[in-house]
Amino acid sequence: DAGITQSPRHKVTETGTPVTLRCHQTENHRYMYWYRQDPGHGLRLIHYSYGVKDTDKGEVSDGYSVSRSKTEDFLLTLESATSSQTSVYFCAIATGSGNTIYFGEGSWLTVV
Amino acid sequence: QKEVEQNSGPLSVPEGAIASLNCTYSDRGSQSFFWYRQYSGKSPELIMFIYSNGDKEDGRFTAQLNKASQYVSLLIRDSQPSDSATYLCAVSDLGLYNQGGKLIFGQGTELSVKP
């Protein structure tokens, strides 16, 4: 257990509405990540953070923004949800041992 | 574009057999290599990581790395039905003593172990 909690775990929302997913960690890790997973595409990095207020884009960042105002929380926001953002979203943290990354339980988002 | 390629499968093996999962990567600068297991509806779970050429064993699992061929594999000995899952290969350009690497994942290989 890497001490990662994602919320909400499941959400259905309408096209055009804003959505925020929260990732909370309890072990003070510096690096946090948001990935999405889709059939045929595997896991793709959306955004990542290397500290409070330090974030950067991943390979599929369009339509997403992130914020990290506290070490323990990394928020992913879909400003105006589209059907193409229907996916499973995984938060992850990097631990100090061997550059390893551990995932949270995932958030299933459906945009209708 | 850095790529990680895996056969999507499904790979079907009988119980007790050796399952061999393969992965190739495009970036010669890759330093760290990871295998994750993912059960349906669950999050990826780290099985093993390897940094140096050669073999690394952990119980029934052996990871093999050949940087010259840009190839990494995972062998599962004495396969069990509980090993049935999707196995994800991931690659990072940071090494053993670094944090903060961004993993690039393959699409995963579905493994089915038949009783």
Q: Which two tokens stand for residue B109?
A: 């290989």
- B2 pLDDT band (50/70/90 cuts)? confident
C-beta of residue B15 within 8 angstroms of C-beta of residue B80: yes
Selection from B3, B22, B7, B6 nearest residue B104 by Cα: B3
C-beta of residue A1 within 8 angstroms of C-beta of residue A93: no
Contacts of B58 (CB under 8 A, 6+ apart): B47, B48
Distance (Å, whole) CA A56 – CA A49: 6
Which B residues 7-36 touch A at CB under 8 Å? 32, 34
User: How confident is the model at residue A32, as a pLDDT?
Assistant: 95
Inform me whether the pLDDT recorded for B7 exceeds 90.
Answer: no
Q: Determine contact: B88 vs chain A, CB below 8 A.
A: yes
Inform me whether the pLDDT recorded for A97 exceeds 70.
Answer: no
User: How confident is the model at residue A100, as a pLDDT?
Assistant: 83
pLDDT tens for each residue of A30-81: 999 999 999 888 899 999 999 999 999 999 999 999 999 999 999 999 999 9
Mean pLDDT of chain A, nearest integer? 94
Which chain B positions have a beta carbon within 8 Å of A48's beta carbon? Answer: 100, 102
Which chain A positions have a beta carbon within 8 Å of B96's beta carbon? Answer: 98-99
Distance (Å, whole) CA A49 – CA A71: 10
Distance (Å, whole) CA B71 – CA B106: 12
Selection from B5, B14, B8 nearest residue B86 by Cα: B8
* Alpha helices by DSSP H, chain A: none
Mean pLDDT calculated for residue range B48-53:
92
C-beta of residue A33 within 8 angstroms of C-beta of residue A45: yes
